[in-house]
Chain A
Amino acid sequence: MDETGGILPQVEKARPGSLVERAVQIGGPVAERAAKLWDGAVDLMRKVDVGIRATVIAGLASLATAGVVHAEGLGGGIDIDQVRETFDKLSQLANQYPIVGVAALGGGLLMHRVDRAFGGNGLKGAVGGAAVFGGLALATQVGGGNIMEMVKKMSS
Protein backbone atom coordinates (compact mmCIF):
# COMPACT_ATOMS: atom_id res chain seq x y z
CA MET A 1 0.00 0.00 0.00
CA ASP A 2 1.13 3.58 -0.57
CA GLU A 3 1.11 6.35 2.07
CA THR A 4 -2.49 7.33 1.30
CA GLY A 5 -3.69 3.80 1.85
CA GLY A 6 -4.07 3.03 -1.87
CA ILE A 7 -2.80 -0.09 -3.53
CA LEU A 8 0.42 0.42 -5.45
CA PRO A 9 0.49 -1.06 -8.95
CA GLN A 10 2.33 -4.32 -9.20
CA VAL A 11 5.42 -4.01 -11.35
CA GLU A 12 7.17 -7.20 -12.28
CA LYS A 13 10.83 -6.78 -11.44
CA ALA A 14 13.75 -8.63 -12.91
CA ARG A 15 15.41 -11.14 -10.63
CA PRO A 16 18.90 -10.04 -9.68
CA GLY A 17 21.83 -11.22 -11.80
CA SER A 18 22.45 -11.88 -15.44
CA LEU A 19 19.89 -13.82 -17.44
CA VAL A 20 22.66 -15.64 -19.30
CA GLU A 21 24.45 -16.56 -16.07
CA ARG A 22 21.27 -18.13 -14.73
CA ALA A 23 20.70 -19.98 -18.00
CA VAL A 24 24.23 -21.42 -17.87
CA GLN A 25 23.86 -22.32 -14.20
CA ILE A 26 20.60 -24.18 -14.80
CA GLY A 27 21.49 -25.65 -18.21
CA GLY A 28 24.90 -27.03 -17.19
CA PRO A 29 27.69 -27.99 -19.62
CA VAL A 30 25.47 -27.89 -22.72
CA ALA A 31 24.41 -24.32 -21.92
CA GLU A 32 28.00 -23.35 -21.16
CA ARG A 33 29.22 -24.60 -24.54
CA ALA A 34 26.36 -22.82 -26.30
CA ALA A 35 27.24 -19.57 -24.53
CA LYS A 36 30.89 -19.96 -25.59
CA LEU A 37 29.90 -20.59 -29.19
CA TRP A 38 27.74 -17.48 -29.14
CA ASP A 39 30.70 -15.50 -27.86
CA GLY A 40 32.78 -16.86 -30.71
CA ALA A 41 34.99 -19.18 -28.69
CA VAL A 42 37.52 -20.39 -31.22
CA ASP A 43 38.85 -23.18 -29.01
CA LEU A 44 35.49 -24.93 -29.16
CA MET A 45 35.81 -25.22 -32.93
CA ARG A 46 39.56 -25.77 -33.17
CA LYS A 47 39.36 -29.53 -33.64
CA VAL A 48 36.51 -29.36 -36.10
CA ASP A 49 36.96 -29.74 -39.84
CA VAL A 50 37.54 -26.35 -41.48
CA GLY A 51 34.53 -26.76 -43.77
CA ILE A 52 32.22 -27.47 -40.87
CA ARG A 53 33.65 -24.53 -38.96
CA ALA A 54 32.96 -22.25 -41.92
CA THR A 55 29.38 -23.45 -42.03
CA VAL A 56 28.89 -22.79 -38.34
CA ILE A 57 30.20 -19.25 -38.76
CA ALA A 58 28.01 -18.72 -41.83
CA GLY A 59 25.10 -20.10 -39.84
CA LEU A 60 25.72 -17.64 -37.02
CA ALA A 61 25.79 -14.83 -39.57
CA SER A 62 22.52 -16.08 -40.99
CA LEU A 63 20.95 -16.17 -37.55
CA ALA A 64 22.23 -12.65 -37.01
CA THR A 65 20.47 -11.39 -40.11
CA ALA A 66 17.36 -13.22 -39.00
CA GLY A 67 17.41 -11.11 -35.85
CA VAL A 68 18.15 -14.11 -33.71
CA VAL A 69 21.85 -13.84 -33.05
CA HIS A 70 24.15 -10.85 -32.69
CA ALA A 71 27.40 -12.40 -33.83
CA GLU A 72 29.68 -9.41 -33.74
CA GLY A 73 31.81 -9.09 -36.85
CA LEU A 74 29.91 -11.78 -38.69
CA GLY A 75 27.45 -9.57 -40.53
CA GLY A 76 25.89 -10.47 -43.85
CA GLY A 77 23.78 -13.34 -45.07
CA ILE A 78 24.39 -16.95 -45.80
CA ASP A 79 25.20 -18.17 -49.28
CA ILE A 80 23.21 -21.38 -49.57
CA ASP A 81 25.13 -22.70 -52.57
CA GLN A 82 28.43 -22.05 -50.86
CA VAL A 83 27.51 -24.18 -47.87
CA ARG A 84 25.74 -26.92 -49.83
CA GLU A 85 28.85 -29.06 -49.86
CA THR A 86 29.26 -28.69 -46.14
CA PHE A 87 25.65 -29.65 -45.52
CA ASP A 88 26.30 -32.79 -47.55
CA LYS A 89 29.27 -33.46 -45.32
CA LEU A 90 27.17 -32.91 -42.20
CA SER A 91 24.67 -35.36 -43.65
CA GLN A 92 27.37 -38.01 -44.10
CA LEU A 93 28.62 -37.39 -40.58
CA ALA A 94 25.07 -37.83 -39.31
CA ASN A 95 25.36 -41.49 -40.32
CA GLN A 96 28.29 -41.89 -37.98
CA TYR A 97 27.06 -39.47 -35.33
CA PRO A 98 23.25 -39.28 -35.38
CA ILE A 99 23.33 -36.43 -32.88
CA VAL A 100 24.57 -34.19 -35.71
CA GLY A 101 21.44 -34.71 -37.81
CA VAL A 102 19.05 -34.51 -34.92
CA ALA A 103 20.67 -31.35 -33.56
CA ALA A 104 20.49 -29.83 -37.05
CA LEU A 105 16.80 -30.70 -37.31
CA GLY A 106 16.03 -29.48 -33.78
CA GLY A 107 18.08 -26.32 -34.25
CA GLY A 108 16.60 -25.69 -37.70
CA LEU A 109 13.07 -26.10 -36.38
CA LEU A 110 13.54 -23.97 -33.27
CA MET A 111 15.38 -21.19 -35.10
CA HIS A 112 12.74 -21.27 -37.83
CA ARG A 113 10.20 -20.51 -35.08
CA VAL A 114 12.43 -17.88 -33.48
CA ASP A 115 12.92 -16.16 -36.84
CA ARG A 116 9.17 -16.03 -37.37
CA ALA A 117 8.57 -14.86 -33.79
CA PHE A 118 10.89 -11.93 -34.59
CA GLY A 119 9.02 -11.13 -37.80
CA GLY A 120 11.04 -13.01 -40.45
CA ASN A 121 9.85 -15.69 -42.85
CA GLY A 122 11.75 -18.44 -41.06
CA LEU A 123 14.04 -19.61 -43.86
CA LYS A 124 17.23 -17.92 -42.73
CA GLY A 125 16.62 -19.04 -39.19
CA ALA A 126 16.04 -22.62 -40.30
CA VAL A 127 19.16 -22.87 -42.45
CA GLY A 128 21.36 -20.91 -40.03
CA GLY A 129 20.05 -22.88 -37.06
CA ALA A 130 20.65 -26.20 -38.79
CA ALA A 131 24.24 -25.21 -39.61
CA VAL A 132 25.03 -23.92 -36.15
CA PHE A 133 23.41 -26.71 -34.17
CA GLY A 134 24.68 -29.51 -36.41
CA GLY A 135 28.16 -28.04 -36.19
CA LEU A 136 27.89 -27.52 -32.46
CA ALA A 137 26.88 -31.14 -31.98
CA LEU A 138 29.90 -32.19 -34.01
CA ALA A 139 32.18 -29.87 -32.07
CA THR A 140 30.98 -31.19 -28.75
CA GLN A 141 31.32 -34.81 -29.78
CA VAL A 142 34.90 -34.05 -30.72
CA GLY A 143 35.42 -32.19 -27.47
CA GLY A 144 34.01 -34.94 -25.24
CA GLY A 145 31.73 -34.62 -22.23
CA ASN A 146 28.12 -35.64 -21.79
CA ILE A 147 27.21 -35.22 -25.43
CA MET A 148 29.96 -37.66 -26.41
CA GLU A 149 28.31 -40.26 -24.22
CA MET A 150 25.02 -39.58 -25.95
CA VAL A 151 26.68 -39.89 -29.35
CA LYS A 152 28.02 -43.31 -28.36
CA LYS A 153 24.59 -44.42 -27.21
CA MET A 154 22.88 -43.04 -30.28
CA SER A 155 25.47 -44.59 -32.58
CA SER A 156 25.35 -48.04 -30.98
Chain B
Amino acid sequence: MYLILSIPLSLFAIFISRKINNDIIISIVSYLFFFISPILTYFGIIGVLTGFDSIYTSGLYFGISFYTVNIGYQLLTNREIIKTNPLKFILTIINPLYLFTGPFPNQISAKFKSFNLKIFIKRLEIINSELILGVFFAFILAPSFNPLLKLKESTEIVDILIFGIIFELYVYLNFAGFSMIAWSFMRLFGINVKRNFNQPFSATSIVEYWQRWHVSLSYILKELFFKKLKPKIGIYNSVFLVFLASALWHGVTMNFLIWGIVHSLFWCVSYYFHKRDFKFFNYFLLFFGVVIGRIIFSEINTGILFLKFKTLFNISQWNFHLGSEIATISLHNPDILNILITIFLIFLEITMPKFSKSYKNYNYLRAPLVSTLILLFICLSFAGFNSNPIYGNR
Protein backbone atom coordinates (compact mmCIF):
# COMPACT_ATOMS: atom_id res chain seq x y z
CA MET B 1 0.00 0.00 0.00
CA TYR B 2 2.74 2.46 0.92
CA LEU B 3 4.06 2.31 -2.65
CA ILE B 4 0.94 4.19 -3.81
CA LEU B 5 2.29 7.29 -2.12
CA SER B 6 6.03 6.72 -1.92
CA ILE B 7 6.59 6.11 -5.63
CA PRO B 8 4.71 9.22 -6.89
CA LEU B 9 6.48 11.35 -4.26
CA SER B 10 9.84 9.92 -5.39
CA LEU B 11 8.91 10.61 -9.02
CA PHE B 12 8.00 14.15 -8.09
CA ALA B 13 11.42 14.58 -6.44
CA ILE B 14 13.08 13.21 -9.61
CA PHE B 15 11.05 15.65 -11.71
CA ILE B 16 12.06 18.57 -9.50
CA SER B 17 15.74 17.59 -9.55
CA ARG B 18 15.74 17.36 -13.34
CA LYS B 19 13.66 20.37 -14.24
CA ILE B 20 14.65 22.92 -11.65
CA ASN B 21 18.14 24.24 -11.22
CA ASN B 22 17.38 26.95 -8.73
CA ASP B 23 18.95 25.97 -5.37
CA ILE B 24 16.47 28.00 -3.36
CA ILE B 25 13.45 26.28 -4.92
CA ILE B 26 15.07 22.87 -4.44
CA SER B 27 15.71 23.72 -0.79
CA ILE B 28 12.10 24.85 -0.29
CA VAL B 29 10.81 21.60 -1.83
CA SER B 30 13.20 19.58 0.37
CA TYR B 31 11.90 21.28 3.50
CA LEU B 32 8.34 20.81 2.32
CA PHE B 33 9.04 17.09 2.11
CA PHE B 34 10.35 17.18 5.67
CA PHE B 35 7.19 18.91 6.86
CA ILE B 36 4.74 16.51 5.18
CA SER B 37 4.61 14.39 8.36
CA PRO B 38 3.92 17.32 10.70
CA ILE B 39 1.18 18.55 8.36
CA LEU B 40 -0.44 15.10 8.24
CA THR B 41 -0.14 14.82 12.02
CA TYR B 42 -1.75 18.22 12.44
CA PHE B 43 -4.77 17.11 10.44
CA GLY B 44 -4.96 13.80 12.30
CA ILE B 45 -4.24 11.72 9.20
CA ILE B 46 -1.27 10.07 10.86
CA GLY B 47 -0.67 9.62 14.57
CA VAL B 48 1.93 11.07 16.88
CA LEU B 49 4.99 9.15 18.05
CA THR B 50 4.40 9.05 21.78
CA GLY B 51 4.70 5.28 21.84
CA PHE B 52 1.16 4.96 23.17
CA ASP B 53 -1.03 6.51 20.52
CA SER B 54 -2.13 5.15 17.21
CA ILE B 55 0.45 5.36 14.48
CA TYR B 56 -1.45 5.69 11.24
CA THR B 57 -5.01 5.45 10.07
CA SER B 58 -4.41 3.68 6.77
CA GLY B 59 -1.80 1.40 5.22
CA LEU B 60 -1.41 4.12 2.63
CA TYR B 61 0.63 6.14 5.12
CA PHE B 62 2.87 3.30 6.23
CA GLY B 63 6.39 4.68 6.70
CA ILE B 64 5.51 8.14 5.39
CA SER B 65 7.40 10.06 8.06
CA PHE B 66 10.52 8.07 7.23
CA TYR B 67 10.50 8.25 3.46
CA THR B 68 9.38 11.89 3.15
CA VAL B 69 12.29 12.99 5.35
CA ASN B 70 14.54 10.75 3.30
CA ILE B 71 13.33 12.23 0.00
CA GLY B 72 13.82 15.77 1.35
CA TYR B 73 17.29 14.96 2.57
CA GLN B 74 18.39 13.19 -0.62
CA LEU B 75 16.99 16.00 -2.76
CA LEU B 76 19.03 18.53 -0.85
CA THR B 77 22.27 16.56 -0.70
CA ASN B 78 22.28 14.01 -3.54
CA ARG B 79 20.55 15.81 -6.38
CA GLU B 80 23.06 14.63 -8.98
CA ILE B 81 22.49 10.93 -8.20
CA ILE B 82 18.72 11.45 -8.30
CA LYS B 83 19.11 13.03 -11.73
CA THR B 84 21.47 10.47 -13.17
CA ASN B 85 20.13 7.34 -11.56
CA PRO B 86 16.48 7.75 -10.63
CA LEU B 87 15.91 4.01 -10.26
CA LYS B 88 18.51 3.73 -7.49
CA PHE B 89 16.87 6.68 -5.80
CA ILE B 90 13.40 5.12 -5.94
CA LEU B 91 14.71 1.77 -4.70
CA THR B 92 16.41 3.49 -1.79
CA ILE B 93 13.26 5.40 -0.88
CA ILE B 94 10.91 2.43 -1.03
CA ASN B 95 13.24 -0.02 0.74
CA PRO B 96 10.85 -1.37 3.40
CA LEU B 97 13.67 -1.84 5.90
CA TYR B 98 13.95 1.93 6.23
CA LEU B 99 10.28 2.33 6.90
CA PHE B 100 9.41 0.43 10.02
CA THR B 101 11.94 1.86 12.41
CA GLY B 102 14.86 3.46 10.63
CA PRO B 103 17.72 4.08 10.43
CA PHE B 104 17.48 6.65 7.71
CA PRO B 105 19.93 5.95 4.88
CA ASN B 106 22.77 8.41 4.78
CA GLN B 107 23.32 7.91 1.09
CA ILE B 108 21.73 6.51 -2.02
CA SER B 109 23.24 3.06 -2.48
CA ALA B 110 26.19 3.36 -4.82
CA LYS B 111 25.39 0.17 -6.68
CA PHE B 112 23.03 -2.75 -6.42
CA LYS B 113 24.95 -5.96 -6.83
CA SER B 114 23.35 -9.20 -7.79
CA PHE B 115 22.80 -11.51 -4.81
CA ASN B 116 25.83 -13.61 -3.99
CA LEU B 117 25.24 -16.40 -1.48
CA LYS B 118 28.92 -16.78 -0.58
CA ILE B 119 29.29 -13.11 0.26
CA PHE B 120 25.97 -13.18 2.13
CA ILE B 121 27.17 -16.08 4.32
CA LYS B 122 30.49 -14.35 4.93
CA ARG B 123 28.70 -11.22 6.04
CA LEU B 124 26.37 -13.28 8.22
CA GLU B 125 29.40 -14.72 10.04
CA ILE B 126 30.27 -11.22 11.17
CA ILE B 127 26.94 -9.41 11.32
CA ASN B 128 24.95 -12.10 13.17
CA SER B 129 26.08 -10.72 16.54
CA GLU B 130 24.36 -7.37 15.82
CA LEU B 131 21.23 -9.22 14.73
CA ILE B 132 21.28 -11.33 17.89
CA LEU B 133 21.67 -8.21 20.02
CA GLY B 134 18.77 -6.54 18.20
CA VAL B 135 16.48 -9.52 18.81
CA PHE B 136 17.62 -9.65 22.44
CA PHE B 137 16.77 -5.98 22.97
CA ALA B 138 13.51 -5.86 21.00
CA PHE B 139 11.95 -9.25 21.69
CA ILE B 140 13.33 -10.41 25.01
CA LEU B 141 14.12 -7.39 27.17
CA ALA B 142 11.70 -4.70 25.93
CA PRO B 143 8.42 -6.68 26.36
CA SER B 144 9.28 -7.29 30.01
CA PHE B 145 8.72 -3.58 30.66
CA ASN B 146 5.18 -3.70 29.26
CA PRO B 147 3.40 -4.33 32.59
CA LEU B 148 5.17 -1.31 34.08
CA LEU B 149 3.98 1.04 31.38
CA LYS B 150 0.62 1.43 33.03
CA LEU B 151 2.43 3.72 35.47
CA LYS B 152 1.77 6.36 32.81
CA GLU B 153 -1.77 6.64 34.15
CA SER B 154 -0.57 7.70 37.59
CA THR B 155 -0.04 11.29 38.70
CA GLU B 156 1.78 10.43 41.92
CA ILE B 157 5.37 11.58 42.12
CA VAL B 158 7.11 8.22 42.61
CA ASP B 159 5.06 6.64 39.83
CA ILE B 160 5.79 9.55 37.49
CA LEU B 161 9.54 9.36 38.07
CA ILE B 162 9.71 5.59 37.84
CA PHE B 163 7.63 5.75 34.66
CA GLY B 164 10.04 8.30 33.17
CA ILE B 165 12.97 5.94 33.75
CA ILE B 166 11.10 2.79 32.73
CA PHE B 167 9.71 4.32 29.56
CA GLU B 168 13.13 5.64 28.55
CA LEU B 169 14.55 2.12 28.94
CA TYR B 170 11.59 0.58 27.10
CA VAL B 171 11.85 2.98 24.15
CA TYR B 172 15.60 2.46 24.06
CA LEU B 173 15.42 -1.34 24.02
CA ASN B 174 12.59 -1.42 21.51
CA PHE B 175 13.85 1.26 19.16
CA ALA B 176 17.54 0.33 19.36
CA GLY B 177 16.66 -3.36 19.01
CA PHE B 178 14.56 -2.91 15.89
CA SER B 179 17.13 -0.51 14.47
CA MET B 180 19.86 -3.11 14.98
CA ILE B 181 17.74 -5.75 13.25
CA ALA B 182 17.07 -3.42 10.30
CA TRP B 183 20.72 -2.33 10.18
CA SER B 184 21.89 -5.98 10.19
CA PHE B 185 19.62 -6.93 7.30
CA MET B 186 20.75 -3.93 5.30
CA ARG B 187 24.40 -4.78 5.91
CA LEU B 188 23.74 -8.40 4.96
CA PHE B 189 22.51 -7.16 1.59
CA GLY B 190 25.45 -4.79 1.24
CA ILE B 191 23.59 -1.56 1.99
CA ASN B 192 25.73 0.82 3.97
CA VAL B 193 23.87 2.85 6.60
CA LYS B 194 24.74 4.52 9.85
CA ARG B 195 23.95 2.75 13.08
CA ASN B 196 20.93 4.32 14.72
CA PHE B 197 22.20 3.97 18.30
CA ASN B 198 25.63 4.15 19.79
CA GLN B 199 25.36 3.43 23.51
CA PRO B 200 23.42 6.60 24.39
CA PHE B 201 23.84 6.00 28.11
CA SER B 202 27.60 6.14 27.72
CA ALA B 203 27.15 9.86 27.09
CA THR B 204 28.58 12.31 29.59
CA SER B 205 26.20 15.10 28.69
CA ILE B 206 22.89 15.63 26.95
CA VAL B 207 24.79 17.06 23.97
CA GLU B 208 26.60 13.73 23.61
CA TYR B 209 23.41 11.80 24.31
CA TRP B 210 21.83 13.28 21.19
CA GLN B 211 24.91 12.32 19.18
CA ARG B 212 24.26 8.72 20.19
CA TRP B 213 20.44 8.46 20.12
CA HIS B 214 18.56 8.05 16.81
CA VAL B 215 21.82 8.94 15.08
CA SER B 216 20.42 8.79 11.56
CA LEU B 217 17.68 11.36 12.27
CA SER B 218 20.13 13.59 14.14
CA TYR B 219 22.44 13.41 11.13
CA ILE B 220 19.65 14.46 8.74
CA LEU B 221 18.48 17.25 11.05
CA LYS B 222 22.07 18.45 11.24
CA GLU B 223 22.39 18.48 7.45
CA LEU B 224 18.96 19.98 6.78
CA PHE B 225 18.78 22.58 9.53
CA PHE B 226 21.77 22.96 11.80
CA LYS B 227 24.47 23.44 9.16
CA LYS B 228 22.33 25.93 7.23
CA LEU B 229 21.19 27.90 10.26
CA LYS B 230 24.32 28.03 12.42
CA PRO B 231 26.29 30.57 10.33
CA LYS B 232 23.25 32.87 10.24
CA ILE B 233 21.72 32.73 13.71
CA GLY B 234 24.38 31.13 15.90
CA ILE B 235 24.61 27.77 17.63
CA TYR B 236 22.01 28.22 20.38
CA ASN B 237 19.22 29.49 18.12
CA SER B 238 20.03 26.78 15.56
CA VAL B 239 19.81 24.06 18.19
CA PHE B 240 16.47 25.45 19.31
CA LEU B 241 15.11 25.29 15.77
CA VAL B 242 16.55 21.80 15.19
CA PHE B 243 14.75 20.50 18.28
CA LEU B 244 11.61 22.28 17.18
CA ALA B 245 11.80 20.57 13.77
CA SER B 246 12.42 17.23 15.49
CA ALA B 247 9.46 17.85 17.81
CA LEU B 248 7.19 18.64 14.86
CA TRP B 249 8.34 15.48 13.10
CA HIS B 250 7.25 13.46 16.13
CA GLY B 251 3.87 15.18 16.28
CA VAL B 252 2.25 18.61 16.12
CA THR B 253 1.01 18.56 19.69
CA MET B 254 1.66 20.63 22.78
CA ASN B 255 3.68 17.92 24.52
CA PHE B 256 6.16 17.69 21.64
CA LEU B 257 6.46 21.48 21.48
CA ILE B 258 7.32 21.49 25.19
CA TRP B 259 9.61 18.50 24.67
CA GLY B 260 11.52 20.38 21.93
CA ILE B 261 11.87 23.52 24.05
CA VAL B 262 12.94 21.61 27.17
CA HIS B 263 15.52 19.53 25.32
CA SER B 264 16.95 22.51 23.45
CA LEU B 265 17.29 24.35 26.77
CA PHE B 266 19.02 21.39 28.38
CA TRP B 267 21.25 21.07 25.33
CA CYS B 268 22.28 24.74 25.47
CA VAL B 269 22.94 24.72 29.22
CA SER B 270 24.84 21.46 28.87
CA TYR B 271 26.91 22.91 26.04
CA TYR B 272 27.68 25.96 28.17
CA PHE B 273 28.81 23.73 31.07
CA HIS B 274 30.81 21.55 28.72
CA LYS B 275 32.77 24.58 27.53
CA ARG B 276 33.56 25.40 31.15
CA ASP B 277 34.31 21.83 32.15
CA PHE B 278 31.50 21.49 34.72
CA LYS B 279 31.18 17.75 34.21
CA PHE B 280 29.20 16.97 37.31
CA PHE B 281 26.38 19.34 36.33
CA ASN B 282 26.24 17.73 32.92
CA TYR B 283 25.65 14.28 34.42
CA PHE B 284 22.82 15.73 36.48
CA LEU B 285 21.34 17.50 33.44
CA LEU B 286 21.64 14.32 31.40
CA PHE B 287 19.65 12.25 33.88
CA PHE B 288 17.12 14.95 34.59
CA GLY B 289 16.69 15.90 30.92
CA VAL B 290 16.24 12.32 29.74
CA VAL B 291 13.69 11.40 32.42
CA ILE B 292 11.68 14.64 32.27
CA GLY B 293 11.92 14.62 28.49
CA ARG B 294 10.52 11.12 28.32
CA ILE B 295 7.59 11.98 30.63
CA ILE B 296 6.71 14.93 28.36
CA PHE B 297 7.23 12.80 25.25
CA SER B 298 4.74 10.17 26.35
CA GLU B 299 1.82 12.36 27.41
CA ILE B 300 -0.31 13.77 24.62
CA ASN B 301 -3.00 14.96 27.04
CA THR B 302 -1.85 18.46 28.01
CA GLY B 303 -4.09 18.59 31.08
CA ILE B 304 -2.56 15.41 32.54
CA LEU B 305 0.92 16.56 31.53
CA PHE B 306 0.54 19.82 33.46
CA LEU B 307 -0.89 17.90 36.41
CA LYS B 308 2.23 15.72 36.37
CA PHE B 309 4.43 18.85 36.22
CA LYS B 310 2.52 20.31 39.15
CA THR B 311 3.20 17.15 41.15
CA LEU B 312 6.87 17.11 40.15
CA PHE B 313 7.67 20.75 40.81
CA ASN B 314 5.45 21.56 43.78
CA ILE B 315 8.08 20.74 46.42
CA SER B 316 5.75 21.36 49.37
CA GLN B 317 3.51 18.52 48.18
CA TRP B 318 6.23 15.95 47.55
CA ASN B 319 5.28 12.64 49.04
CA PHE B 320 7.75 9.88 48.44
CA HIS B 321 5.71 6.84 49.33
CA LEU B 322 5.09 4.28 46.63
CA GLY B 323 2.34 5.36 44.28
CA SER B 324 -0.96 3.54 44.19
CA GLU B 325 -0.51 2.43 40.59
CA ILE B 326 2.83 0.69 41.17
CA ALA B 327 1.29 -1.39 43.93
CA THR B 328 -1.14 -2.92 41.44
CA ILE B 329 1.57 -4.20 39.11
CA SER B 330 2.60 -7.81 39.32
CA LEU B 331 5.58 -9.02 37.35
CA HIS B 332 6.34 -12.55 36.24
CA ASN B 333 9.69 -13.95 37.29
CA PRO B 334 11.10 -13.88 33.72
CA ASP B 335 10.16 -10.19 33.50
CA ILE B 336 11.96 -9.46 36.74
CA LEU B 337 15.03 -11.30 35.45
CA ASN B 338 14.94 -9.37 32.17
CA ILE B 339 14.58 -6.04 33.97
CA LEU B 340 17.58 -6.90 36.16
CA ILE B 341 19.56 -7.83 33.05
CA THR B 342 18.61 -4.49 31.49
CA ILE B 343 19.80 -2.62 34.57
CA PHE B 344 23.08 -4.53 34.40
CA LEU B 345 23.45 -3.72 30.69
CA ILE B 346 22.79 -0.03 31.32
CA PHE B 347 25.37 -0.13 34.11
CA LEU B 348 27.84 -1.64 31.65
CA GLU B 349 26.93 0.95 29.03
CA ILE B 350 27.60 3.76 31.49
CA THR B 351 30.80 2.37 32.97
CA MET B 352 32.57 0.42 30.21
CA PRO B 353 33.69 3.44 28.15
CA LYS B 354 35.20 4.92 31.33
CA PHE B 355 37.68 2.02 31.39
CA SER B 356 38.55 2.13 27.74
CA LYS B 357 37.55 4.24 24.76
CA SER B 358 37.58 1.06 22.67
CA TYR B 359 34.20 0.00 24.08
CA LYS B 360 31.89 1.48 21.48
CA ASN B 361 29.02 0.43 19.20
CA TYR B 362 28.15 -2.27 21.76
CA ASN B 363 31.27 -4.23 20.78
CA TYR B 364 31.53 -5.69 24.29
CA LEU B 365 28.07 -7.25 23.71
CA ARG B 366 28.97 -8.36 20.20
CA ALA B 367 32.09 -10.25 21.29
CA PRO B 368 31.85 -13.91 20.14
CA LEU B 369 31.45 -15.46 23.60
CA VAL B 370 28.99 -12.84 24.88
CA SER B 371 26.99 -13.00 21.65
CA THR B 372 26.78 -16.79 21.91
CA LEU B 373 25.55 -16.57 25.49
CA ILE B 374 22.95 -13.98 24.47
CA LEU B 375 21.76 -16.28 21.66
CA LEU B 376 21.48 -19.13 24.14
CA PHE B 377 19.44 -16.93 26.45
CA ILE B 378 17.17 -15.87 23.57
CA CYS B 379 16.54 -19.47 22.57
CA LEU B 380 15.71 -20.43 26.12
CA SER B 381 13.40 -17.55 26.84
CA PHE B 382 11.88 -16.55 23.50
CA ALA B 383 8.12 -16.44 24.01
CA GLY B 384 6.89 -15.12 20.70
CA PHE B 385 6.84 -11.97 18.64
CA ASN B 386 5.03 -9.90 21.24
CA SER B 387 6.84 -6.68 20.45
CA ASN B 388 6.04 -4.04 17.85
CA PRO B 389 8.31 -1.20 16.80
CA ILE B 390 7.32 1.66 19.07
CA TYR B 391 8.61 4.22 16.60
CA GLY B 392 7.75 2.58 13.40
CA ASN B 393 5.25 2.23 10.62
CA ARG B 394 4.11 5.82 10.54
Chain B binds chain A: no
